[in-house]
Amino acid sequence: MNHDEKRSSQRIQVEIPVYIGEEEAITRDVSWSGIYFQTDQPFVEGDDLNFSLELIYALPGKQIKIDCQGEAVRIEQRGEKFGIAAKINNFQYIH
């Protein structure tokens, strides 16, 4: 299956911190509708996810935090880590 066919918005390859509970992970790519990141946590496809992104350099002198609710749609074993592709169902900007 080609996962590109399911994408509803363009992904941007960027490494930014993503926080899932107390764990800090790093994104591989993001879009308005989804995110891919690597984590130590073994999520299961279909799991509900709550995570936040911190965009430190998006606006000079201001840090932007985006709280997201989503769902794990694909899990990939990456050595000792897990690659998580997640759909973003809802998000909120917090300044």
Q: Which two tokens stand for residue 64?
A: 């932007």
pLDDT exceeds cutoff 80 at 29: yes
* Residue range 19-42: mean pLDDT, rounded: 91
pLDDT of 95 above 80: no
* Tokens representing residue 14 in the block: 């960027």
pLDDT at 3 over 70: no
Number of domains in the chain: 1
Domain of residue 48, CATH code: 2.40.10.220
Instruction: Note the pLDDT tens digit of each residue in 32-80.
Output: 899 999 999 889 999 999 999 988 766 677 778 899 999 999 999 989 9
Structural domain boundaries enclosing 36: 3-94
Residue 15 CA to residue 30 CA, distance in Å, equals 9
